[in-house]
Structure 1
């Protein structure tokens, strides 16, 4: 099976100001976000990536470009960047552009925290629909990567916090109502493999450390009873 690295975009000015940017145009990485994206790209530099898929929003495309710019391997050219609307940010409707401290006073806010599966943002998208499209998109690209490049390859999907949390919740077999228990920081890397029996969540919300060990990740299959031996470099 391939390995998908779920990369959140780096910090933006909206993140720093506590604004829910949503799908607004022109929201770019700030100086901290550019440093975060460069650090994540350096973590992935020794991992030959066969595909980089990104949300169309600027902050994700900037992060994806940073990753590709450090992909310089003798055995292959850097992968092209594929823009994918299926992993774009949730449509927050009337909440878009609002300050989070103001949104915390909205009557819908407690339900977003405790029962997100029942939430539809006013004038926007439901969180259940967001999860359905995101998971379907990641699985579709994962199957295409395996068909084109084979098992044991690694690819990247650059997306948004709630998108990645929803994909991880699905991979973990968690109900969407529990997805707020998952943390996904700016420019973090989470690692999932879709095996023949079940998804395997290898790591979540990692922000440091060399990822070259992904080269040695054993082929997927049955879960090792007792935990297995890990990789040669772990």
Structure 2
């Protein structure tokens, strides 16, 4: 079986570009983040979304709640969609991390570089992909998965067959949605990235099958 999945990054918050929020700074959405998420909910109305799963961080839970309110759905927490465990880096200022050779190595070699006491990029991607595989096994209508920038980047890199070292070559903006068709066993088709197109679900599915 297959299922259409919308990978949604949480909305904007005041840490963006300044702090590595990680799992330490459990920050809320700011007004811009709430507004952009509400706009996404309006765009998704009538698209047949049947379920919303969310990372347990406050910023993702709030994003999922706004989407759920707009779509008439109760979000369900999913630990597999959680932010990367950055270990000792979590909650640090980017300005401080930029001088750390280990941080520089992490950003140059995401496929192999470790985090200080946290998890690897590959481990984070593996748990997220396993969750999407589980959704594919269930089948059904479109599902939204609310997660974090690098987790979504990693899943998309996996789906596209790209090395994890290259995930910083594309952006995943706050409150953006990337649509994938999940077929199970780690098999995906990427339909849209970092946005929200206006086609119907059937049209996206046709793209996936080549019909």
Q: Please give the TM-score of this superposition, normalised by the length of structure 1.
A: 0.82
CA–CA distance in structure 1, aligned partners of residues 133 and 60 of structure 2: 19
What's 1:119 paired with?
A: 113
Aligned counterpart, 1:35? 35
- RMSD between aligned residues: 2.0
Deviations 1:15-68 (A, max 9, x none): 15x100101253110111111111111111121211100001111111111111
Contact 1:171-1:199 within 8 A present in 2 as well:
yes
What's the counterpart of residue 192 of structure 2? 203
Q: 1:159 aligns with which of 132, 147, 154?
A: 147
Is 1:102 aligned with 2:96?
yes
Shift of 1:109: 2.5
The CA distance in 1 between the partners of 2:101 and 2:153, in whole Å, is 23
Alignment match, 1:172: 160
The answer to whether residue 82 in structure 2 is matched with residue 93 in structure 1 is no
* Cα pair 2:133 2:183 within 8 Å, conserved: no
CA distance 1:201–1:59, shift in 2 (3 Å): same
Contact 2:181/2:208 (8 A) holds in 1:
no
* Structure 2: runs of 5+ lacking an equivalent: none
Q: Which residue of 1 aligns with 2:9?
A: 8
SS at match of 2:95: helix
Q: Deviation per CA, 1:189-234: give whole Å up to 9, x if none.
A: 001002489421001001x65x462254345764x3xxx6xxxxxx
What whole-Å deviation, never above 9, does each CA across 1:125-152 have from its counterpart, x for those lacking one? 11111111111112212322x0xx3xxx
2-structure distance, mates of 1:217, 1:166: 22
SS at match of 2:172: coil
Change (3 A) 1:193 1:218: closer
Kindly report structure 1 stretches of 4+ aligned residues shifted beyond 6 Å: none
Long gaps (5+) in structure 1: 72-77, 229-234
